[in-house]
Protein backbone atom coordinates (compact mmCIF):
# COMPACT_ATOMS: atom_id res chain seq x y z
CA UNK A 1 0.00 0.00 0.00
CA UNK A 2 1.21 3.52 -0.71
CA UNK A 3 0.11 7.12 -0.51
CA UNK A 4 0.10 8.35 -4.10
CA UNK A 5 -1.17 11.85 -3.37
CA UNK A 6 -1.15 14.06 -0.29
CA UNK A 7 -2.90 17.43 -0.28
CA UNK A 8 -2.07 19.46 2.83
CA UNK A 9 -4.67 21.73 4.39
CA UNK A 10 -3.27 25.00 5.70
CA UNK A 11 -5.67 25.79 8.50
CA UNK A 12 -5.89 25.65 12.26
CA UNK A 13 -8.53 22.92 12.09
CA UNK A 14 -8.15 19.25 12.94
CA UNK A 15 -7.87 18.06 9.33
CA UNK A 16 -4.22 18.27 8.28
CA UNK A 17 -4.63 16.95 4.74
CA UNK A 18 -6.27 14.55 2.30
CA UNK A 19 -4.78 11.31 1.01
CA UNK A 20 -5.20 9.13 -2.05
CA UNK A 21 -4.09 5.58 -1.34
CA UNK A 22 -3.18 2.79 -3.75
CA UNK A 23 -3.35 -0.82 -2.56
CA UNK A 24 -0.96 -3.56 -3.65
CA UNK A 25 -3.84 -4.94 -5.75
CA UNK A 26 -4.02 -1.67 -7.68
CA UNK A 27 -7.13 -0.11 -6.12
CA UNK A 28 -6.96 3.67 -5.71
CA UNK A 29 -9.08 5.19 -2.97
CA UNK A 30 -9.53 8.94 -2.56
CA UNK A 31 -10.87 11.03 0.27
CA UNK A 32 -8.93 9.76 3.28
CA UNK A 33 -8.34 12.50 5.86
CA UNK A 34 -5.27 12.93 8.05
CA UNK A 35 -6.68 14.23 11.34
CA UNK A 36 -5.00 15.57 14.49
CA UNK A 37 -6.97 14.03 17.35
CA UNK A 38 -6.62 14.23 21.11
CA UNK A 39 -4.30 11.18 21.07
CA UNK A 40 -2.27 12.14 17.98
CA UNK A 41 -2.69 11.65 14.26
CA UNK A 42 -5.13 9.20 12.73
CA UNK A 43 -6.55 8.56 9.28
CA UNK A 44 -10.27 9.09 8.76
CA UNK A 45 -12.09 7.09 6.12
CA UNK A 46 -13.77 8.72 3.14
CA UNK A 47 -17.31 9.62 4.14
CA UNK A 48 -20.55 10.64 2.51
CA UNK A 49 -23.54 12.54 3.82
CA UNK A 50 -26.72 10.48 3.91
CA UNK A 51 -30.28 11.62 3.27
CA UNK A 52 -30.70 11.90 7.04
CA UNK A 53 -27.89 14.54 7.12
CA UNK A 54 -25.58 12.12 9.02
CA UNK A 55 -22.05 11.33 7.76
CA UNK A 56 -21.22 7.68 6.98
CA UNK A 57 -17.79 6.13 6.40
CA UNK A 58 -17.42 4.57 2.97
CA UNK A 59 -14.50 2.34 4.03
CA UNK A 60 -13.81 0.56 7.32
CA UNK A 61 -10.19 0.85 8.51
CA UNK A 62 -8.98 -1.69 11.10
CA UNK A 63 -6.85 -0.18 13.89
CA UNK A 64 -3.62 -1.87 12.70
CA UNK A 65 -4.12 -0.61 9.16
CA UNK A 66 -4.93 2.88 10.43
CA UNK A 67 -1.50 3.08 12.10
CA UNK A 68 0.16 1.92 8.88
CA UNK A 69 -1.69 4.66 6.98
CA UNK A 70 -0.62 7.28 9.55
CA UNK A 71 3.01 6.17 9.13
CA UNK A 72 2.75 6.34 5.33
CA UNK A 73 1.11 9.77 5.51
CA UNK A 74 3.76 11.04 7.94
CA UNK A 75 6.49 9.94 5.53
CA UNK A 76 4.68 11.72 2.70
CA UNK A 77 4.42 14.91 4.78
CA UNK A 78 8.12 14.75 5.62
CA UNK A 79 9.00 14.42 1.92
CA UNK A 80 6.58 17.21 1.00
CA UNK A 81 8.06 19.54 3.60
CA UNK A 82 11.60 18.74 2.45
CA UNK A 83 10.76 19.48 -1.18
CA UNK A 84 8.93 22.68 -0.25
CA UNK A 85 11.92 23.87 1.77
CA UNK A 86 14.33 23.04 -1.10
CA UNK A 87 16.00 20.45 1.12
CA UNK A 88 15.80 17.51 -1.29
CA UNK A 89 16.02 14.26 0.72
CA UNK A 90 18.27 12.41 -1.77
CB-facing half-sphere around the CA of 16: CA atoms within 13 A: 14
pLDDT for 48 equals: 93
Residue 90 has pLDDT above 50, yes or no: no
1 and 73 in contact (C-beta within 8 Å)? no
Global confidence as pTM: 0.72
Residue 89 has pLDDT above 50, yes or no: no
More confident of the two residues 34 and 84:
34
Least confident of 10-14, 22-26, 51-55: 10-14
Span 31-80, pLDDT tens digits:
999 988 898 888 889 999 999 999 999 988 888 888 888 888 888 776 55
Amino acid sequence: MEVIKYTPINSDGKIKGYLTIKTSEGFEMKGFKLIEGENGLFVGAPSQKGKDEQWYDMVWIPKELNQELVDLASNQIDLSNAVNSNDIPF
